[in-house]
A = this chain, B = another copy of it.
Amino acid sequence: MTKHRILVQLDSDEQASVFDAVVAVDSEVEHLLQYHSVRPEQVRDLVHGAMFTRGPKDLHNTAVFIGGSDVAKGEQLLAAAKQCFFGPMRVSLMLDANGANTTAAAAVLAAARHIDLAQSEALVLAATGPVGQRAVRLLARGGCKMRVASRSEDRAAAACDAIRSAVADAQLTPVATGDTEQTAVAVEGVDIVIAAGAAGIELLSAELREACSSLKVAVDLNAVPPLGIGGVEVTDKAVERDGAICFGAIGVGGTKMKIHKAAIKSLFDSNDKVLDADDIFAIGQSLEVSE
């Protein structure tokens, strides 16, 4: 008898995400086991329960999804889960806490449809956050020259150091965007801007965006007004504004959702997947090719 596909949803929030649960159901998961308030020290027993119930040839029908709004906590849960395995005794894992991996992948893919990353220079605003850091990493791997922005240059520099440890040949420049003058300098001459900031905070004004004649692609990942990039609409999906192709959060949402579902489905192809930012981006790239 074929085993049903079981997804174990580990969520660090007080209530497990309904969003992640619905996507799981829509990705052919047959039984979803939801866990909330999950702490790293609880992961071992939970993952062992997934590992030690089905035989080796059926283990690929059980997988673990790690979510929750706190990306740092999600990373801790992922680290704890990876430590549970030995030899072939393992189950596939996916991290998408706060949607950070699928969002960063969708943003970079949206840009890559309109410009050659390897020939471009990109500015990521609020690059120290989880989505921002992931976007920088993915763009840098694509060969993009990066400006890594934060209100404080120290924090930007620290983010650059962290990213360099993951992408050795990354071309990263920390830039401060503490005020309009600094932001004007930061954006000057770039081909791509991705705004990865918190909801309701404008990171780049409409004036600065319009004044940036080099700008070819702008992606704003903030869904709650005021948006992160002035003049970009949340529903923008490859809308040309003042010479730049613009995307809003809903505009990249379709791609994000496709990546999320494809990633969940791929968990069940084998029992040894560990899907984090790069792997999820690669899944997104394969979807672009197949379309």
Contact = CB atoms under 8 A, between A and B. Distances in A.
A26 interface: yes
Interface in A50-70: 50, 52-54, 62, 69
A34 B49 CA distance: 14
Contact of A18 (B4, B19, B22, B50): B50
Nearest to A223: B52
Contacts of A62: 22
A3 interface: yes
Interface string A1-45: 001101010000011111111110110000111110110001001
Contacts of A8: 18
Nearest to A18: B49
A26 B21 CA distance: 21
A46 interface: yes
Contact of A3 (B26, B54, B253): B26
Nearest to A33: B21
Q: Is the interface of A mostly helix, strand, loop or mixed?
A: mixed
Given A15-B35, A15-B45, A33-B34, A4 B21 contact: no
A15 B32 contact: no
B3 A15 contact: no
Contacts of A47: 18
Interface residues of A, number: 37
A273 interface: no
A49 B6 contact: no
A19 B54 contact: no
B23 A53 contact: yes
Contacts of A151: none
A65 B286 CA distance: 38
Contacts of A14: 37, 42
Contact of A22 (B6, B15, B20, B257): B6
A155 interface: no
Interface of A: 3-4, 6, 8, 14-23, 25-26, 31-35, 37-38, 42, 45-50, 52-54, 62, 69, 253, 257
Given A4-B26, A19-B53, A45-B69, 8 more contacts: A3-B26, A6-B22, A6-B25, A15-B38, A18-B49, A22-B54, A26-B54, A32-B33
18 contacts: A4-B25, A4-B26, A6-B21, A14-B42, A15-B35, A15-B42, A17-B49, A18-B33, A18-B49, A18-B53, A19-B49, A19-B53, A22-B54, A22-B62, A26-B53, A26-B54, A33-B34, A53-B257
